[in-house]
Amino acid sequence: MRPVFRSIKIFWVIARYRLDTFFHNPSLPWILRIALYFLPWRYLIPARDPDAVRLRLALEALGPVFIKFGQMLSTRRDLLPDDIAVELARLQDKVPSFSSQKAKQIVERSLGQSVETLFQSFDTDPMASASVAQVHSATLFDGRAVVVKVIRPGIEKIIQQDVSLLYTLAWLVCHLWSEGRRLRPIEVVEEYEQTIFDELDLRKEAANGSQLRRNFEGSSILYVPEIFWDYTRRNVLVMEKIYGIPVADMEQLNAQNTDMEKLAERGVEIFFTQVFRDSFFHADMHPGNIFVSRDRPDDPQYIAVDFGIIGSLSAEDQSYLARNILAFFRRDYRQVAQLHIDSGWVPRDTNVHAFETAIRSVCEPIFEKPLKEISFGMVLLGLFQTARRFNMEVQPQLVLLQKTLLNIEGLGRQLYPDLDLWKTAKPFLENWMKERMSVKAVAKSVKQQAPEWLEKLPLMPQLVFDALQQTAHHNENQVEEARRIAEQHTQRAKSIRRHLLVALTSLFIVVSMVQPNLQDAVSTLPWYGWVIAVIGWMSVWRA
């Protein structure tokens, strides 16, 4: 019965927040417009707030799964109107916590021991409660302070039910709203489904955290807490407890005289290092997941937590993206257009000149502003929206990248409003491109692939012989196929001539039997007989 009650609640929330107003569109079928007109709550519940506000309130009322969906949706500024994207970005991970006793039971069942045996102390009051998990403070027997993250009980079933309902709503939006197909709601739900089910397995988050920690081992700009694998399972994660200032707490940061300019620039440096050096970037870097170390405020260091969403780029995507950004800031729109085509982001048959013109018309006005006011995130958004008009396919890895860049950029400008993102990023990108094309990089690539080449070297003569043999067989087959087709055409032509000769002979014999004097028959033939005869002869000729 739970799915039935859940559906009833969802319909009640839709009515309470008058979400039906999103479908008031002349392009709807007339029968649906009439059905919307006769909805009973239309006359009982006024829609006082703007559409975007009512959508946010509805998602909050529907619970953690829909809140998480709204948060993810808020990052898709390429799909949403600005007012809705801004309002959904206000959604917070503040949801009611579940029973501490239940949390202890989950930990004990997962780790096979009692909490008292596992930890020297375990705080029953949660430190934080999020959409799919909550966090408790604890202490190991060696004295190290840790946090214990526990997946909400029964959340997987709730998510499955809610995702099914989201698919239904996406289908309705797609078919009942004129803008629905452009927004691709079903694809958005598919992306969300994959993301949230990945977050339910804390082993994946732990693995991501361990990799990120290795990437920044000994770094002075980013610290990643240690994962304790002996205490980590699918629905329990134990991690080193960190002591830092929330990055959005400007009061505390200013109180300890933090170097805000350096902090903002290091945020940008961390992003580009993750994307281009490691191709492994934290894709959920909102202020709730980022802290600043209390040590060395004059030389600030970030601390990152929550590694459930990680993005990566292929070597080709890295190269094309770096070259795109550099070409954009050089106003080389032809190269930007060509790079989109070469990368396969838009179809190969795209008109380069038309694409270049479209990009110029969107991007040129941006350069009327000082460079420090130009938003990288909006640059990518403008490029992707323009490319979409030329049938650019959705690139999930670029969507995550754009979302992360918008988060980093917004955070940087909040910390230091005069941050010149281009000044910080350009040297990094240029140096990365030089290193990628340097002799050292080529030698490194050869060194990495050398064992594989050496392993295949003894097989090369046989591989070359097999390739040549296959080519010879292929050519023979092509010659044989051409000969067979030519013979078929010759036989068909002979058959047509033979049938035509038989038809004409038969016609002559029949006419001779009916009218021995053929000349008299021809002279007495009426006009319509001549017409029929000409049509007949033309038909025979075409055959």
Question: Tokens 């050096």 correspond to what residue?
Answer: 277
Q: Which residues of 27-58 are buried (b: 16+ CB within 10 A; e: fewer)?
A: ebeeeeeeebeeeeeeeeeeeeeebbebbbeb
Burial (Cβ within 10 Å: 0-12, 13-18, ≥19) of residue 361 = exposed
Q: In whole angstroms, give the CA distance from residue 338 to residue 353.
A: 9
What is the rounded distance in angstroms from the CA atom of residue 33 to the CA atom of residue 303? 52
Which of these ranges, 69-78, 289-298, 333-342, has the smallest mean pLDDT?
69-78
Domain ranges of the chain: 2-93+160-197, 99-151+201-241, 246-437, 460-542
Question: Given 162, 284, 306, 420, which residue is catalytic?
Answer: 284
Tell me the mean pLDDT in the region 123-146: 89
Locus of tokens 């807490």: 225
417-452 pLDDT, tens per residue?
887 777 778 888 888 888 776 666 566 666 666 676
Model confidence at 302: pLDDT above 90: yes
Please choose, from the candidates 311, 283, 279, the residue with its C-alpha nearest in 3D space to the C-alpha of residue 397: 311
Q: Report the distance separating Cα 386 and Cα 376, nearest Å.
A: 15
Q: What angle do CA 17, 20, 23 make, to 5 degrees?
A: 145
Per-residue confidence at 83, pLDDT binned at 50, 70, 90?
confident
pLDDT at 150: 94
Name the residue with higher pLDDT: 29 or 110: 110
Please say whether the beta carbons of 302 and 266 come within 8 A: yes
Distance CA 80, CA 184 (A): 10
pLDDT-derived band of residue 513, with 50, 70 and 90 as boundaries?
very low
Dump pLDDT digits (tens) for 232-256. Answer: 999 999 999 999 998 888 889 999 9
Could you give the C-alpha distances from 240 to 137, 247, 276, in angstroms and in order? 10, 19, 28
Q: What is the pLDDT of residue 194?
A: 78
Alpha-carbon distance of 518 to 234, in angstroms, equals: 99
CA–CA separation, 275 vs 401, rounded Å? 8
Alpha carbons 130 and 127: distance in angstroms, whole number:
10
Whole-number pLDDT of residue 514: 46
| One-letter amino acid for residue 12 of the chain | W
pLDDT value, residue 123? 92
Element (H, E) at 302: strand 302-304
- State pLDDT tens for residues 28-52: 555 666 666 666 666 667 777 787 8
Is the pLDDT confidence value at 109 over 90? yes
pLDDT at 518: 47
Tell me the one-letter amino acid at 48: R
In degrees, rounded to 5, the angle at the alpha carbon of residue 215 between the alpha carbons of residues 213 and 219 is 80
pLDDT winner (highest mean) among 19-28, 48-57, 483-492? 48-57
Beta carbons of 118 and 150 less than 8 angstroms apart: no
- The CATH class of 99-151+201-241 is alpha beta
Residue in 145, 151, 92 with CA at minimum distance from that of residue 123: 145
pLDDT at 487: 75
Average pLDDT over residues 185-192: 74
The amino acid present at 465, given as its one-letter code, is F
SS3 call for 24: coil
For the chain, give the mean pLDDT: 77
Between these two residues, 15 and 148, which has the higher pLDDT value? 148
Rounded Cα gap, residues 90 and 104, in angstroms? 32
The DSSP result for 332-371, as a single string, is -HHHHHHHHHHTTSS-TT--HHHHHHHHHHHHGGGGGS-G
Number of alpha carbons in the 13 Å side-chain half-sphere of residue 411: 30
142 classed as catalytic = no
Per-residue pLDDT tens over the stretch 374-424 = 776 667 667 767 776 777 665 666 767 777 777 777 777 778 888 777 777
What φ, ψ does residue 370 adopt, rounded to 5°? Answer: -65, 150
Q: Is 118 within 8 Å of 67 (Cβ atoms)?
A: no
Judge whether 493 and 500 are in contact, CB under 8 Å. Answer: no
**In sequence order, what E strands does 16-169 have?**
121-122, 128-129, 133-139, 145-151
Supply the pLDDT for residue 239: 95
**pLDDT value of residue 360:** 86
DSSP 418: T
